[in-house]
Amino acid sequence: MFQLILLAFDGSTHAQKAATLAADLARRYGARLLVLHAFDPVPDYLGEPFLQQAIARRTEAAERVAAEARVLLEGLSDLEIEILEGPPAEAILRAAEVRQPDLIVMGTRGLGQLKGLLLGSQSQKVLAHAPCPVLLVR
Ligand code: ATP
Ligand code: MG
């Protein structure tokens, strides 16, 4: 049923729980796990040298999040971790169109500060537009 599972990971507690669940499903189904982490593009009006510095900071931060995912998912045999540039939901949906996963797993909430929300904006967008089933983890 599940051959390719896509996990959207932002390092948040919810995403960590989503990672544990996605890893369990991947093991049970013998599925490949594709982990995506997106970072926001740096506005180019910054100008040099600030632009290069800002890009370096964002890519380093993204690599740290990817490394956290790698530690959490250590031991999974078929694991791929990709860093994408762009607003998270758009990046996840684009990747889902290209890679055609059988399932997307993500947290209900992420790193956002608005405590009252039940669903974060990125999970809402992915849920609304995904081409496959979506599993939201709380
Ligand atoms: P908001 O971003 O709207 O302020 P939030 O941060 O609480 O709210 P979301 O960003 O929608 O909520 O996060 C929900 C889930 O979406 C996360 O648990 C994670 O699975 C995924 N996600 C969020 N941001 C990213 C990202 N940059 N890269 C990959 N996945 C992400
Ligand atoms: Mg967020």
What is the tens place of the pLDDT at every residue in 77-91? Answer: 999 999 999 999 999
Rounded mean pLDDT of the chain? 95
Taking only the tens place, the pLDDT of each residue in 99-113 is: 999 999 999 999 998
CATH classification of the domain holding 56: 3.40.50.620
Ligand 1 in contact with 14 (CB < 6 A)? yes
Entry pTM: 0.96
**In the predicted model, is pLDDT for residue 45 greater than 90?**
no
Q: How many domains does the chain have?
A: 1
Dist. CA 110–CA 40, nearest whole Å:
15
Cβ(130) – ligand 1 distance below 6 Å: no
| Owning domain of residue 102 | 4-137
Residue 42 has pLDDT above 90, yes or no: no
Cα 45 to ligand 1 centroid, rounded to whole Å: 26
Residue 3: CB atoms within 10 Å: 14
* Best of 122, 124, 127 for a ligand 1 pocket test (most atoms within 8 Å of beta carbon): 122
Higher pLDDT, 31 or 113: 31
Radius of gyration of the chain (CA): 15
